[in-house]
């Protein structure tokens, strides 16, 4: 057997293995959002973006792929956050313990056209992080770094507090199929929405299996005086400190004039 023939045979086997491991995609998602740049002004009170899109099929699409399920995940900029436990002792509430959440989404929304457990099996739900209970929220537990069970007291409190402010949400009837392949959903943004880049991941399921996925994004930015203050605080701490001290002095001086007794 010649070395040349052996090399050709190996190359053919490798290409065949790649072809088997990477089947052609039968469906693809075409999506967009109504606004890719949301501006936060002094009177901003929140708004709702619209995500819309369609499922495009090709000749290789299985005939059985007629009924689709869709899951939309919206994640805001990541940050470290802390959840504290308070207890009443000697008539006052004090912090007795805390848990640090590492690089978790500051905004997290999960939308679908029907309940997650009706879309996929529990194993697929965990693997694809369908639902707030399955999203990974890494914590610092002593010297360890890990996610914990969904009913962990600190994890439950963290998700509940974020949900109360509209920053974490889960809605299993928020995605609407206008036709068998055309869909839309709303993305509500509260008044206290964090500034930064938001990633939107769209997953298409059929018969409990993931068949296509795609991503898009939008930015939330401050404008006007708020943007100047935020940029100065981030880029020039000394100038920001001096400006803050000057404003405090001016406020005190104005108050002394208003409430001065003649």
* Strand bridging mode 176-177 / 182-189: antiparallel
Those residues whose C-beta lies under 8 Å from the C-beta of residue 151, and which sit 6 or more positions away, are none
| Residue 199 CB partners (closer than 8 Å, separation 6+) | 74, 75, 215, 217
Average pLDDT, the chain: 82
> Above pLDDT 70, what percent of the chain?
75
In what order do the strands lie in the sheet containing 144-146? 78-89, 92-105, 139-141, 144-146
Q: Which pLDDT band, with edges at 50, 70 and 90, does 247 fall under?
A: confident
pLDDT in tens, 114-142: 999 999 999 999 999 999 999 999 988 77
Per-residue model confidence (pLDDT) at position 150: 79
> How far apart, in whole angstroms, are the C-alpha atoms of residue 46 and residue 55?
30
Answer yes or no: is pLDDT of 202 > 70. yes
Q: Is the pLDDT of residue 1 over 50?
A: no
User: From CA 170, how far away is CA 111, in angstroms rounded?
Assistant: 6
Residue 15 is predicted with a pLDDT of 40
Give the relative orientation of helices 237-258 and 225-235 as an angle to the nearest 10 degrees: 130
Residue-wise pLDDT tens digits, 61-92: 665 566 899 999 999 999 999 888 766 776 67
Q: Which residue has better confidence, 111 or 95?
A: 111
CATH of domain 25-224: 2.60.40.3880
Q: Which residues pair with 75 in a beta bridge?
A: 108, 199
């Amino acid at each position: 057997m010649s070395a040349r023939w052996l090399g050709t045979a190996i190359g053919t086997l490798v290409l065949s293995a790649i072809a088997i491991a990477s089947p052609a995609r039968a469906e693809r998602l075409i999506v967009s959002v109504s606004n890719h740049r949301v501006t936060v002004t002094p009177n901003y009170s929140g708004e709702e973006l619209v995500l819309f899109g369609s499922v495009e099929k090709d000749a290789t699409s299985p005939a059985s792929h007629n009924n689709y399920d869709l899951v939309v995940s919206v994640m805001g900029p990541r940050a470290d956050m802390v959840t504290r436990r308070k207890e009443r002792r000697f008539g006052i509430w004090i912090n007795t313990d805390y848990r640090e959440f590492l690089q978790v989404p500051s905004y997290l929304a999960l939308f679908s056209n029907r309940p997650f457990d009706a879309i996929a099996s529990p194993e697929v739900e965990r693997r694809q992080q369908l639902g707030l209970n399955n999203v990974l929220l890494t914590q610092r537990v002593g010297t360890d770094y890990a996610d914990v069970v969904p009913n962990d007291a600190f994890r439950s409190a963290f998700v509940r507090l974020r949900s109360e402010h509209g920053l974490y949400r889960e809605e299993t009837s928020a995605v609407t199929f206008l036709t068998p392949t055309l869909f839309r959903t709303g993305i509500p943004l509260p008044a206290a929405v964090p500034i930064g880049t938001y990633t939107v991941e769209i997953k298409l399921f059929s018969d409990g299996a993931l068949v296509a996925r795609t991503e898009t994004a939008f930015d939330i930015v401050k404008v006007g005086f708020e943007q100047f203050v935020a940029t100065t605080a981030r880029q020039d701490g000394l100038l920001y400190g001096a400006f803050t001290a000057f404003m405090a002095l001016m406020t005190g001086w104005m108050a002394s004039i208003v409430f001065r007794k003649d």
